[in-house]
């Protein structure tokens, strides 16, 4: 079960005049000026432009609300947003399932990255959904019919604390992939938490019960491999629980990023004090997924 939050990665694709010095300008953590797609260093930008066979002069810029490598799916959001923008550049409108599937193909098949598909589908769809990943590689999406008051209460109870660490998740995910066959009991137990979570969000349970569910899922997740957690993460988690958090988990593959907790509003000052060396955000829930926010075709003739 997935929920998307109101922290965004933005992708701007802009046609340039034919007489610019270089055909491609790509702005990310650095600025690249290239004449050939093969020269582009950013792998997602390079393979996305190749996928759409973009030969006209283009400026591509990306910027984000959240640092990359912090477990909140930034690379998947970039892939989905770029594909959405490039479809729009061609005047095409496609389904969210197509956006997610093409982003998966870009990262998993073309770039051969060790990762799952869940972040691509979460970025494309937004809101609350149950994703089912089948053996034949198809994905089904079922929206959660949530109770608005429950979601608002959950929003008031969620806190994300930034550990100040950025990491490449590929090593953690590669190890997880290697041990998956031996840990199916753990993965099955985590999967079986989906229905209880859906019941709570649908109004047939208490928001406070989400805390213990997250706590149990985190204990299961961290048992998969020692790379998922570390002393720093474990210490911060314990401090938050002792201060009044009902439960939580580390977002993303592991090793760093954001710790998410369910905390009753009355105990939130205590948790903030206990983790006073860590900045925090209240995430808010997104209900729309990837979308075009500005569209101006034919600006360059």
**pLDDT (tens digit per residue) in 184-219:** 898 899 999 999 999 999 999 999 999 999 999 999
**What is the dotted CATH code of the domain comprising 2-143?**
3.30.230.10
The pLDDT of residue 166 is 58
Ranges of each domain in the chain: 2-143, 148-281
The catalytic residues are 119
The pLDDT of residue 268 is 98
8 Å CB contact between 261 and 156: no
Q: Which residues, other chains included, contact 119 with Cβ-Cβ below 8 Å and sequence gap of 6+?
A: 73, 75, 76, 77
Mark the ranges of the chain whose per-residue pLDDT is less than 50: none
Backbone angles phi, psi at 183, to 5 degrees: -120, 30
From the list 160, 166, 165, 164, the residue with the least C-alpha distance to 271 is 160
The pLDDT of residue 146 is 96
Q: Which residues, other chains included, contact 2 with Cβ-Cβ below 8 Å and sequence gap of 6+?
A: 118, 121, 122, 128, 129, 130, 131
What angle (nearest 5°) sits at the alpha carbon of residue 68, between those of residues 221 and 96? 80
What angle (nearest 5°) sits at the alpha carbon of residue 57, between those of residues 51 and 59? 85
**What is the dotted CATH code of the domain comprising 148-281?**
3.30.70.890
The pLDDT of residue 223 is 85
From the list 20, 18, 56, 21, the residue with the least C-alpha distance to 37 is 56
8 Å CB contact between 72 and 251: yes
8 Å CB contact between 51 and 111: no
């Amino acid at each position: 079960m997935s929920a998307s939050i109101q922290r965004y990665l933005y992708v701007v694709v802009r046609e340039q005049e034919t007489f610019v010095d270089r055909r491609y300008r790509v702005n990310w953590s650095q600025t690249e000026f290239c004449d050939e797609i093969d020269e582009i260093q950013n792998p997602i930008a390079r393979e996305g432009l190749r996928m759409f066979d973009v030969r006209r002069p283009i400026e591509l810029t990306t910027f984000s609300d959240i640092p990359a490598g912090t477990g909140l799916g930034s690379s998947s959001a970039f892939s989905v947003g770029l594909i959405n923008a490039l479809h729009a550049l061609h005047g095409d409108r496609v389904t969210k399932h197509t956006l997610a599937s093409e982003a998966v193909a870009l990262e998993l098949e073309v770039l051969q990255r060790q990762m799952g598909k869940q972040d691509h589908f979460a970025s494309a769809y937004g809101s609350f959904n149950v994703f089912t990943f089948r053996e034949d590689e198809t994905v089904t999406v079922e929206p959660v019919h949530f109770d608005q008051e429950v979601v608002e209460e959950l929003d008031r109870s969620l806190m994300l604390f930034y550990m100040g660490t950025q990491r490449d998740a590929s090593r953690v995910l590669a190890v997880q992939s290697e041990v998956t066959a031996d840990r199916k009991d753990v993965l099955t137990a985590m999967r079986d938490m989906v229905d209880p979570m859906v019941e709570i969000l649908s109004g047939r349970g208490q928001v406070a019960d989400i805390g213990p569910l997250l706590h149990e899922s985190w204990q299961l997740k961290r048992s998969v491999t020692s790379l998922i957690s570390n002393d720093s993460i474990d210490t911060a988690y314990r401090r938050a629980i002792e201060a009044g958090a009902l439960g939580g988990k580390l977002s993303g593959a592991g090793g760093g990023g954001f710790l998410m907790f369910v905390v009753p509003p009355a105990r939130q000052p205590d948790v903030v004090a206990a983790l006073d060396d860590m900045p925090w955000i209240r995430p808010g829930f997104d209900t729309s997924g990837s979308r075009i926010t500005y569209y101006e075709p034919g600006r360059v003739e």
